[in-house]
């Protein structure tokens, strides 16, 4: 779809309003296409129109996306819910996304932010520590992996 490529080019050039206008035109032509709904949500999200983006993210996930776009749609929806203060909805979206895409670490990092907002501070830090342990190439962290894993859910304890 040539028009969708144009949307992405405009977005990359930071011509966000132009990108959004074209994306809305495309959506009018293909309202039942998962990718079109996802890109429409994204085009609204980058303009700060989070509340408007939500329905498009939800519909994109419902209609189905490929394995590259779907985890990003979960991230967009979960993050959008978080930024508007809908923390429980954000938590649910991230949990669902992480279940489907456990190796997509960005979901776990953004989920940790939601946990922080929910005042689940220990869970938030534990989530981040899990991501660090599982994705680092830093030898000094790898050396202490067992200790980090042990302490991640015991941060409140005084020995």
What's the chain's length in residues? 159
Distance CA 20, CA 22 (A): 5
Backbone φ and ψ of 22, nearest 5°: -65, -40
pLDDT for the residue 159: 84
Element (H, E) at 150: helix 145-151
First-residue to last-residue Cα distance in the chain:
61
Q: Does domain 2-107 have CATH number 1.25.40.10?
A: yes
Domain ranges across the chain: 2-107, 120-159
pTM here? 0.92
Distance CA 126, CA 153 (A): 6
Give me the average pLDDT of each 10-residue run along the chain (159 residues). Answer: 92 96 97 98 97 98 98 99 98 99 98 98 96 96 95 89
């Amino acid at each position: 779809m040539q028009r969708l490529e144009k949307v992405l080019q405009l977005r990359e050039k930071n011509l966000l309003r132009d990108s959004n206008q074209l994306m809305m035109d495309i959506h009018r032509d293909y309202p039942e296409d998962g990718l079109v709904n996802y890109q429409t949500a994204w085009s609204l999200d980058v303009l700060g129109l989070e509340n408007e983006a939500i329905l498009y993210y939800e519909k994109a996930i419902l209609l189905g996306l490929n394995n590259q776009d779907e985890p990003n749609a979960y991230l967009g929806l979960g993050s959008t819910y978080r930024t508007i203060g809908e923390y429980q909805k954000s938590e649910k979206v991230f949990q669902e996304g992480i279940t489907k895409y456990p190796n997509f670490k960005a979901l776990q990092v953004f989920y940790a932010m939601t946990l922080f907002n929910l005042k689940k501070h220990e869970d938030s830090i534990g989530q981040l520590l899990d991501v660090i342990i599982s994705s680092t190439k830093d030898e000094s962290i790898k050396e202490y992996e067992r200790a980090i894993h042990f302490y991640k859910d015991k941060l409140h304890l005084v020995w």
